[in-house]
Amino acid sequence: MTYYSYWASEPHLTEQTGLSRYFDLGDGPAPEVLASEVNSSGHTHYDLVKDYFRTHRVEAYEVSRFYDRKRDELTPLFYKADRSMRESGFDPSARFGPFNADVIQYNPVCLNSLLYVMEKEMAEILEIVGRGAEPR
Phi, psi angle pair for 38, to nearest 5°: -125, 130
Contact indicator for 55, 45 with CB cutoff of 8 Å: no
88-108 per-position pLDDT tens digit: 888 778 889 999 999 999 999
pLDDT band of residue 119 (cuts 50, 70, 90) is very high
C-alpha span between 23 and 87 (Å, rounded): 7
The structure's pTM equals 0.86
Phi, psi angle pair for 36, to nearest 5°: -140, -10
Mean pLDDT within 32-36: 89
Per-chain mean pLDDT for the chain: 92
